[in-house]
Amino acid sequence: MLNVTSLQCIRGDRSLFQDLSFELSAGELMHLVGHNGSGKTTLLRTLAALAEPAAGTVAWDGKSIDDLQEEYTGNVLYIGHKNAIKDDLTAIENLQIACVLDGSPVAEDHVWQALAKIGLKGFEDLPTRVLSQGQKRRVSLARLLLSKTRLWILDEPFVALDKAAVSLLQQVLREHIEAGGMAIITTHQDVELITDQVKCLELGWKKQGRV
């Protein structure tokens, strides 16, 4: 369970949000919405322990993530704006290395299956620099299929994906939530997050629909 208490984040000299509190328990998905510059990415990076909050605490199963450190990061999968894949390595190599680093090495067969499932059959052993933007995103998101982590933090996961990939990703998310996982995602696209347990958190000071 993730507990956030009176969190404040400052970017430059501007306070993005303050006194932000929420909790997320197993089997829940949180949809983070807010206009550009409202601090969505900053919040996600703070939750992933990449950035320090100016005030407040983030707790995982009752313990502060500052104390847990690597014990916490082992439970989290964060996919940000960058795909985090090496252009000179193949999709297979990229995913295998990522899995070893995540602490759960997988057999090569599994990686092939995951790539086939995400629609990259035939592209597995090409260097990823020859892939298109959307295909690179798919390689990056294939980690979700291989990951055993409980909390997924996804920053705009649907960017550059086609419709088929979006619906596949929705299904993967749903399965993860139904299996008792947690997820926090941001997206500007009109994507329906089809699970029963969706929380919505709105950041920012502008009303929705205003420029």
Partner 1 sequence: MMKVFITVLRRDLLLAMRRKSDFTSTLFFFVVVVSLFPLAIGPELETLRLIAPGIVWVAALLASMLALDHIFSSDYIDGTLEQMLLTPQPLTMLVLAKIIAHWLITGLPLVLIAPVLGLQYDLSLQAIGILVLGLLLGTPALSLIGAIGAALTLGLRGGGILVSLLVLPLTIPVLIFGAGAVEAGVSGLGAEGHLYLLSAMLVMSLFLAPLATAIALRVALE
Which residues make up the interface to partner 1 (CB under 8 A)?
48-52, 70-71, 73-74, 76, 78, 80-89, 93, 97-98, 100-103, 105, 127
**Nearer Cβ to partner 1, position 35 or 135?**
135
**C-beta of residue 7 within 8 angstroms of C-beta of residue 46:** yes
Other residues' Cβ atoms within 10 Å of the Cβ of residue 125: 11
Of 35 and 131, CB closest to partner 1: 131
Q: Enumerate residues 6+ apart whose C-beta is below 8 A from 206.
A: 35, 38
Query: Minimum CB separation from partner 1 for residue 98, in Å?
Result: 7
Q: Which is nearer to partner 1, 87 or 162 (CB)?
A: 87
Closest contact distance (angstroms) between CB of 211 and partner 1 is 30
How far is it, in rounded angstroms, from Cα 102 to Cα 188? 28
Q: Considering the complex, what minimum distance in angstroms separates the CB of residue 132 from partner 1?
A: 16
Q: Which residues pair with 14 in a beta bridge?
A: 11
- Dihedral pair phi/psi, residue 144, rounded to 5°: -60, -35
The minimum distance between CB 59 and partner 1, in angstroms, equals 18
Using the minimum distance from each CB to partner 1, give the nearer residue, 29 or 44.
44
Residues listed for the chain: 211
